[in-house]
Structure 1
Amino acid sequence: MTDKRVGIVLVSHSAAVAMAVADLARGLAGGGDTAPILPAGGTPDGGLGTSADLITEAARAADTGAGVAVLVDLGSAVLTVKALLAEGDELPEGTRLVDAPFVEGAVAALVTASTGADLDAVTSAAQEAYTYRKN
């Protein structure tokens, strides 16, 4: 498997939620040699909220040179990621905010990224999770 796979960052207002979704995605992707997926949840002091520093740190750690897909849980997380993207030099080149459901999108993104697919394919897979029916 190539070392350059799309990385995934999960931004949640809760560190526990971000970690749990990352663990779930890894488990459903078969575990083992998956693309990098990192949580960026809560604030540095363990509270609820989002942290530009934690997001930046996770994105840099997930970056292998193939791009980074960022999935978020709620509105202010979107604003934080958009602000980081607008700054231009905080997040790795090729970082993309993905409009996708948080849990289903994370699983679809990780499964796709783990195959070595490019950022466009990973983004599409995550976005397609909106069409998953539960009834």
Structure 2
Amino acid sequence: MEQPVGIVLVSHSERLAHGLRDLLVQVAGEEVPIEAAGGTDDGGLGTSYNRILVAVDRADRGAGVLVLTDLGSAVLTAQTVLEDRVANDAVLVDAPFVEGAVAAAVLAGTGAGLAEVTQAAVEARDVRKL
């Protein structure tokens, strides 16, 4: 299999980002590069430009990177990172954080490309629970 699309989880909570990463590794396997970028540099609630940048770079194995965020300022920080980053192979997606991440990870694990993985994350918004 070619290198899979990477996934970066940006949350205000380090524990939330790492917990979701643990779930995704269970459904997608270790082959999919999944990085958590939660919390601030000092371990508090919030987002960190540096944590996001490092996570995107680590998740990038050549097939592109999908970035999912939880709340407003995480979106703004992630956008800034992606605008400043030299490589333009990372995409910020407007998708539900958990459901979108699961859908993306499952599809990334099949070797699907960045466009397909992104679409799966977006479509997760319309999956009803009842």
Compute the TM-score of the two structures, normalised by the length of structure 1.
0.91
The 2-side partners of 1:101 and 1:88 are apart by: 24
Aligned partners of 1:34 and 1:110 also within 8 Å: no
The 3 A distance-change label for structure 1 pair 88 and 58 is closer
1:96-107 correspondence to structure 2 within 5 Å: 96-107=91-102
1:19-58 correspondence to structure 2 within 5 Å: 19-29=18-28, 31=29, 33-58=30-55
Aligned partners of 2:27 and 2:105 also within 8 Å: no
4+ aligned runs moved over 3 Å, structure 1: none
1:121 Cα deviation after fit = 0.2
1:88 Cα deviation after fit = 4.0
Amino acid at match of 1:104: E
3-state SS, counterpart of residue 7 of structure 2: strand
The 1-side partners of 2:107 and 2:118 are apart by: 9
How many residues align? The count is 130
Compute the TM-score of the two structures, normalised by the length of structure 2.
0.95
Query: CA RMSD for the aligned pairs?
Result: 1.2
1:72 counterpart residue number: 69
1:132 Cα deviation after fit = 1.1
1:14 counterpart residue number: 13
The 2-side partners of 1:109 and 1:39 are apart by: 15
Gaps of 5+ in 1: none
The 2-side partners of 1:38 and 1:84 are apart by: 15
The 2-side partners of 1:87 and 1:61 are apart by: 16
Gaps of 5+ in 2: none
Percent of residue pairs bearing the same amino acid type:
57
Amino acid at match of 2:120: A
